[in-house]
């Protein structure tokens, strides 16, 4: 694995405890106000009976989807997060890095695959997205929610590239932020084309107070 990609996993291992608290105590305002509901409502409109949550973290989304009768499998590279997900239930969870998914460690297919703010690297993500059709039934859907490129880009030029990480806005318990790979809107759309998925929806959920987009939510169909 490329060393920058390794830094991402290292950082999530290190910050698993604070992350679990941040999610479960609803410390992240944009999630509470906008993005949690946006991803749940979008997935539910498609009524998938099964879903694979890639980079599921501590498992909140799997637990939510399970309450709507969806059978969820969640995977994440970080054992402490998967341990928490298993303890709270709502699905079947396993410790897998995207590289293992790309190498075909899962041999079942799902009606939906979801990546909620979990696509942070370059090669790991490029390869993972190309593998998605193999994980979906015909007619199945990929749901990606990610930072909105226009809002997340800061002062840097609007072009793909690695950006340094930051835990600004998070509690002081967080440390060692990892770099993340910035993609323009065009690059996100191209990723779908490259993986032969048809982009069926492009949503830009807005912050209720500022009126600015909080995230980019893409839906693709096999």
Ligand X SMILES: C[S@@+](CC[C@H](N)C(=O)[O-])C[C@H]1O[C@@H](n2cnc3c(N)ncnc32)[C@H](O)[C@@H]1O
Give the footprint of ligand X on this chain (CB under 6 A): 8-9, 12, 23, 55-57, 60-61, 76-78, 81, 97-98, 116-118, 120-121, 124
Q: For the chain, give me the number of helices (H) and strands (E)?
A: 10, 9
Of 77 and 111, which CB lies nearer to ligand X in the complex structure? 77
Rounded (10°) CA dihedral 62, 1, 164, 174: 50
CB of 138 to ligand X, least distance (A): 26
Q: Pull the structure tokens for residue 157.
A: 């030029």
Of 105 and 156, which CB lies nearer to ligand X in the complex structure? 105
CB burial string 36-68: b at 16+ within 10 A, e below: bebbbebbeebebebbbbbbbbbbbbbbbbbee
Q: H/E element holding 209?
A: none
Contact call for residues 185 and 149 (beta carbons, < 8 A): yes
Closest CA to 44 of 67, 74, 68: 68
Of 118 and 213, which CB lies nearer to ligand X in the complex structure? 118
CB of 66 to ligand X, least distance (A): 15
CB-closest chain residue to ligand X: 57
Contact call for residues 18 and 11 (beta carbons, < 8 A): no
Of 75 and 111, which CB lies nearer to ligand X in the complex structure? 75
CB of 12 to ligand X, least distance (A): 4
Of 119 and 197, which CB lies nearer to ligand X in the complex structure? 119
């Amino acid at each position: 694995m490329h060393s920058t990609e390794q830094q991402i996993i290292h950082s999530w291992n290190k910050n698993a405890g604070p992350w679990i608290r941040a999610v479960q105590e609803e410390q992240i305002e944009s999630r509470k106000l906008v993005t949690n509901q946006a991803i749940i409502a979008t997935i539910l409109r498609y009524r998938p009976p099964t879903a694979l949550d890639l980079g599921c973290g501590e498992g909140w989304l799997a637990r939510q989807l399970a309450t709507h009768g969806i059978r969820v499998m969640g995977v994440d590279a970080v054992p402490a997060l998967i341990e928490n997900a298993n303890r709270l239930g709502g699905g079947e969870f396993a410790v897998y890095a995207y590289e293992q998914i790309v190498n075909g460690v899962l041999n079942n297919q799902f009606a939906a695959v979801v990546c909620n703010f979990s696509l942070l690297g370059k090669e790991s993500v490029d390869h993972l997205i190309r593998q998605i059709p193999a994980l979906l039934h015909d007619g199945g859907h990929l749901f990606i929610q990610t930072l909105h490129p226009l809002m997340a880009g800061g002062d840097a030029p609007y072009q793909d590239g690695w950006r340094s990480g930051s835990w600004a806005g998070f509690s002081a318990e967080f440390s060692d932020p990892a770099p993340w790979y910035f993609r323009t809107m065009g690059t996100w759309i191209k990723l779908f084309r490259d993986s032969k998925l048809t982009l069926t929806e492009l949503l830009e959920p807005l912050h209720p107070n500022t009126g600015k987009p909080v995230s980019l939510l893409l839906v693709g169909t096999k």
